[in-house]
Chain A
Amino acid sequence: MKATQPSQPQQGSATGKRAARWGRWAPAGLRSAPTTIAAFLLLLFTVAALPWLRGEDPAQTVLRVRFTARGNDPEAVEALRQELDLPSSPITGVLTWLLHALRGDFGTSWVSSQPVDELVRPALITSLTLAGTALLIAVLVAAALLTPAIRHSSKSGPTGPARIPRLLNGPVPAALAALPEVVVAVVGVLLFAVTWRLLPVFGWNGPASAVLPGLALGLPAGGLLARMLSSTAEQTLSDPWVRTWRASGLDRRPLRRAVVRRLVAVGAPQVVVVGMSIVGSSVAVEKVFSIPGAGTLALDAVLAEDLPVVQAVLASFVVVGLLAAGVAAAVHRGLAVLEAERTLGVHAGLGSGNVGRRRWVLGGLMALLLAGLVTGLFRDGTGTDLSLRLASPSLAHPLGADAVGHDQWGRLAEGTVLTVSLAAAITLAALLIGALLGTAAGLTSSSGNPGALDVLATVPSNLVGLLVAAALGPGLHGACLAVLLVAWIPLAVHARTLTAETRSAGYVRAAVLAGAGPWRLLRVHVLPAVLTPLLRHALVRLPAAALGIAGLSFLGLGADPDRPELGAMLAAGVGYLATAPWLVLGPAGVLVALAVLTSSERPAS
């Protein structure tokens, strides 16, 4: 394959090349120990400071978890405080914990008094097995969705730009990725367990019990993975050497191998990202299936302020994330294509504009949604009427009514406005933060120092949500903050990569040789090259932010259950899935439609 590559301008020194490669996927732990450790310590301190942040005595909280509705009982609280031997400040708490942890002693749970490692180890193994199953399903789903692209590469004509069939490129993966896991889970239970009696409803024993939860997590994750890889596929297929090859009329099997190889190389780190997102979203699915996993353990421990358990779970998540990132980096390095291809690809791949029918279809969908939204806002979505409880769709209530007799159309409109406007605000803030920090990182560090970002990227979003909720108390503000705390990271990483690549591109180096100053470089070359793809990336992530808020609301950490928020509506409706499916179809449909609409967004280059 190397032999047939069109000759590339030799660019960058050896170090520059390596830098750009490392900058993307370096295993953080090895390359940048200080920032990694600092980020990790920051997380630990946040956990250790929870009781102080929340301003409530952990002894009181722990007592309440052991005995509900015990009420005020100062004697019992005092007895428990002595038993727990609580640290006097977050700092001493973390230091003591670290000292013991280094000796392999993770302490005992405050709530159950059981050794923490006995609680965490099996839970972690369970969660990783579940995540592994889901990831396998996700890779299979992504492979099925991307296969047409690879087939395409060998079949399409010699001249036209190679494109993946439209549906499989955009809307289908986007719609899959926007499916709420819990809805997939409950539908799966109703079909495969209750109706056909093939699979267990709950529990964690044997491969059978992994199928439904694996599907619930794996289907959306497969959509996400396919989305991430499809742009790589498209980019690769429009690379000049691919076109040259196709035009040459030579045997195409090596070409297909080369494309797959590149997909695997670029995909490996993205599989890790998807894997961590699976771990993050597994809490809700673990709850549905009563799987004793680390997510549930963390959720319960945070709510109970059982700090030893929270610290151990968090630390193990970070370690697992870093290990996975290291493996992914090794795969990437092992298969990595030459720098030149990637650099070229970034410029050649973007901006294949929309043509033809699909635009009409999407325009129609958008118009339909907007019309539904606007008319819905004129309906009363807040008045309750118990005589309309779970009323099925009718002329008066075309989308039916919910459990307390809200008109579902009006409520859906209110919920869409609330969730989408919050998601838009979060995405904008994430874009600004990501662009600023990412560009700065790409410009300043020669090695593209990834440590802190990569440690943060391993912390699952729901866990961040938990920590924020534990510190501020559950609520919509906290949920937005939690989503923002996670949302800027991929944008920053992307901005950093784009900046590094732009810097090493031939024309920028030429400009430097021609005497261009740093500001001019930034203004004329770097920012334009960074901002457009970043904007597109941010737009694509808008539904993810909406899903993030909805997901936290679903877990009871976001909007109050009676607020017209899409996640809260889903949570309220999921119990009625069999009797009143319209309660779930509405909010889930809006989330999916939002993802499909943004999936078509590609600003012309």
Chain B
Amino acid sequence: MGHARVLKTTALAAAFALSLAACGGGSDEAGAAEGKKTLRYAYAFTPVAGLSPYSDDAVTSYGVGATETLVKLDPSGTPEPSLATGWEQLDLTTWQITLREGVKFQDGTPMTAEAVAASLTHAAEAKPAPRALSGTALTVSAEGENAIKVVTKTPDPVLIQRLTSPELAILAQKAYADPALPSVVGTGTGPYTITKLNGTSSADLSANTGYWGGEPALAGIELSFVADGDQRASALRAGQSDLAQALPADQLEQVGADNVVAVPLPRTVSIHLTQDSPVMANPAAREVAREALEGLDLAGTIYAGAADPAQGLFSSVSTWAQDRPAATYPAPLDWDTSETPRQITLATFSDRPELTEIATVVADRWRKAGFDVKTVIQEYNQMESDYLEGTYDAVIMSRSYGQDTADPISYLQADFGCQGGYNISRYCDEDLDTALAQAAEESDVDARNQAAVTAEHELLSQVAVIPLIHDRTQFGIADGLTDLAGDPWERAVVTAQTTFSN
């Protein structure tokens, strides 16, 4: 009898907890004026620096339409007007940029030439400098009511591309109370105003009714930071989110094709073969490694069709790279006659679950091809130094070449130049360096792109890098959600037009 009583008490307590739960659940759509809806957005990246634009958080506030830049990139990577309406290069180092008229910051102050110049000057003086301005020096001044003048210390043909970086968002004066960590709360120019940042768990946004691009279609945005990809998918399926960013490939089937929007990205997963490794220094060993992976359908299996097989470093976003010449590979190694050691370490990072699976498959293939493979898989932040110092013989990397400037030459210089800051292959070839340096001074876009294709051919033929797949970003969307930005440069997501059609 005592037994029964305690069980009953337990059951009552559980029922009570559940009923409390039921009361607490079900978020109401408060403040939805004129039938407009609030978008519940499950976002992958937790803020690292309180949404400061001088950090990786810059993309977050840009993506939800809180902040804007002077210039933005069209899908092909060509700069197009945003807060600026035009630009002109006066001489090698001087640019004049005309500003859009009638723009107001979300705090009500007008976007004057002084305000824009001050905003950019803060970015140029920030320490450490934002990544988009890394290695450059510029001075910005107001030029009359409606234009600014930018003077670079050295000629910078991609200055306009730099200005598309969300790190260089134009913010109102009051954002810079702490110049090291500008605040984006209520200081941007975009269609949605960040009204509150709730630590690292969520942010509230409301429509900016005075938006220069017309009245936003949504009442606001409820932005939740959900680091776990499976949970973002679950939230979408449970009807608790309307938009889930970066769905993992393993969740696509359950979410269903109708509720997934895929955007091909300038992002390539490839294996970098470290050129100063005792094994991979030998081109013939690199060719064995490449050959062993031929016919591997990673896009169709591990990515469940949500990626494209890679032909080179540049994805289908870069239309100019698509008629590339076929690579000419070296002869493969014959283990019986060679002195080359077989022990290699293959590294990748665990942040993207697909990479772990790829590493397992690649290691298995390479073992069958004669290598003695050890794998190291850790979080990216734990490994970056080791990557760059050439600790590993091979590194599987997911790399966007559209970051910051979206300029293929800057990317090639960083990743394959002797002085490159991100040269995981540890590739160093003077001829390539010279060619890239020449291309970097070129202001004709076609000529730059052609140089990029030539460099890519060289790198593939040398087997410095084995491209595996081109990634797509997978947005999970609730029924009826339309007019997302579909930006291949992984920047804009929600626009003033984004709305529910039902």
Q: Is the CB of A208 within 8 A of B13?
A: no
Asked whether A69 is an interface residue with its Cβ less than 8 Å from the other chain, the reply is: yes
Nearest-Cβ distance from residue B460 to partner chain A, whole angstroms: 22
Nearest-Cβ distance from residue B434 to partner chain A, whole angstroms: 21
For this complex, into which size category does the number of interface residues on chain B fall? 35 or more
Interface positions of A from 420 to 469, Cβ below 8 Å from B? none
B3: contacting residue among A70, A151, A287, A291, CB under 8 A: A151
Q: Is the CB of B378 within 8 A of A474?
A: yes
Nearest-Cβ distance from residue B291 to partner chain A, whole angstroms: 17
| Chain B residues, Cβ within 8 Å of A13 | none
Asked whether B14 is an interface residue with its Cβ less than 8 Å from the other chain, the reply is: yes
> Can you list, as one digit per residue, whether each of B10-47 has a CB less than 8 Å from chain A (1) or not (0)?
10011001101111110000000000000000100011
Asked whether B360 is an interface residue with its Cβ less than 8 Å from the other chain, the reply is: yes
B385: contacting residue among A60, A75, A287, CB under 8 A: A60
| Chain B residues, Cβ within 8 Å of A404 | 302, 357, 360-361, 364
Nearest-Cβ distance from residue A467 to partner chain B, whole angstroms: 14
Nearest-Cβ distance from residue A38 to partner chain B, whole angstroms: 31
Q: Is the CB of A71 within 8 A of B414?
A: yes
Q: Is the CB of A198 within 8 A of B25?
A: yes
Asked whether B177 is an interface residue with its Cβ less than 8 Å from the other chain, the reply is: no
The CB with the most chain A CB atoms within 10 A, among B2, B42, B130, B377, is that of: B2
Asked whether B461 is an interface residue with its Cβ less than 8 Å from the other chain, the reply is: no
Asked whether A386 is an interface residue with its Cβ less than 8 Å from the other chain, the reply is: yes
| Chain B residues, Cβ within 8 Å of A199 | 21, 25
Q: In the assembly, what is the distance between CA of A595 and CA of B131, in Å?
A: 51
Asked whether A203 is an interface residue with its Cβ less than 8 Å from the other chain, the reply is: yes
A579: contacting residue among B24, B235, B250, B388, CB under 8 A: B250
| Chain B residues, Cβ within 8 Å of A574 | 230
Q: Is the CB of B296 within 8 A of A386?
A: yes
Asked whether B277 is an interface residue with its Cβ less than 8 Å from the other chain, the reply is: no
Q: In the assembly, what is the distance between CA of A134 and CA of B100, in Å?
A: 55
A576: contacting residue among B10, B250, B365, CB under 8 A: B250
Q: Is the CB of A290 within 8 A of B234?
A: no
Asked whether A379 is an interface residue with its Cβ less than 8 Å from the other chain, the reply is: no
B114-122, B221-229, B444-452: which lies at the A interface?
A: B221-229
For B389, give the chain A residue with the smallest CB separation. A72
For this complex, into which size category does the number of interface residues on chain A fall? 35 or more
| Chain A residues, Cβ within 8 Å of B54 | 66
Q: In the assembly, what is the distance between CA of A63 and CA of B54, in Å?
A: 11
| Chain B residues, Cβ within 8 Å of A207 | 17, 20-21, 23-24
> Can you list, as one digit per residue, whether each of A41-73 has a CB less than 8 Å from chain B (1) or not (0)?
000000000000000100011011111111111
Q: Is the CB of A208 within 8 A of B21?
A: yes
Q: In the assembly, what is the distance between CA of A190 and CA of B400, in Å?
A: 33
The CB with the most chain B CB atoms within 10 A, among A200, A203, A300, A562, is that of: A562
Q: Is the CB of A189 within 8 A of B14?
A: no
Asked whether A122 is an interface residue with its Cβ less than 8 Å from the other chain, the reply is: yes
The CB with the most chain A CB atoms within 10 A, among B135, B231, B420, is that of: B231
A151-B2, A200-B25, A404-B302 as given contacts; A76 in contact with B134, CB under 8 Å: yes
A572: contacting residue among B2, B301, B353, CB under 8 A: B353
A79-87, A96-104, A487-495: which lies at the B interface?
A: A79-87
Asked whether B359 is an interface residue with its Cβ less than 8 Å from the other chain, the reply is: yes
Q: Is the CB of A186 within 8 A of B129?
A: no
Nearest-Cβ distance from residue A93 to partner chain B, whole angstroms: 21
A76-B128, A143-B10, A201-B235 as given contacts; A303 in contact with B296, CB under 8 Å: no
Q: Is the CB of A382 within 8 A of B364?
A: yes
A71-B421, A404-B357 as given contacts; A140 in contact with B384, CB under 8 Å: no
> Can you list, as one digit per residue, whether each of B171-182 has a CB less than 8 Å from chain A (1) or not (0)?
000000010110
For B415, give the chain A residue with the smallest CB separation. A71
Asked whether A148 is an interface residue with its Cβ less than 8 Å from the other chain, the reply is: yes
Interface positions of B from 361 to 406, Cβ below 8 Å from A? 361, 363-365, 375-382, 384-385, 388, 399-400, 403
Asked whether A335 is an interface residue with its Cβ less than 8 Å from the other chain, the reply is: no
B185-193, B236-244, B483-491, B493-501: which lies at the A interface?
A: B236-244
Instruction: Given contact pairs A113-B178, A208-B22, A556-B378, enumerate 12 new A-B contacts (beta carbons under 8 Å).
Output: A150-B2, A186-B230, A201-B231, A202-B224, A206-B25, A384-B360, A386-B298, A403-B302, A562-B356, A562-B375, A562-B377, A579-B250
Could you write out 15 A-B pairs with CB less than 8 Å apart? Answer: A66-B56, A70-B422, A147-B2, A151-B1, A193-B238, A198-B21, A198-B25, A202-B231, A205-B24, A206-B24, A303-B381, A386-B297, A404-B302, A404-B357, A556-B379
4 residue pairs, one from A and one from B, having the closest CB atoms? A206-B24, A76-B128, A71-B421, A71-B422
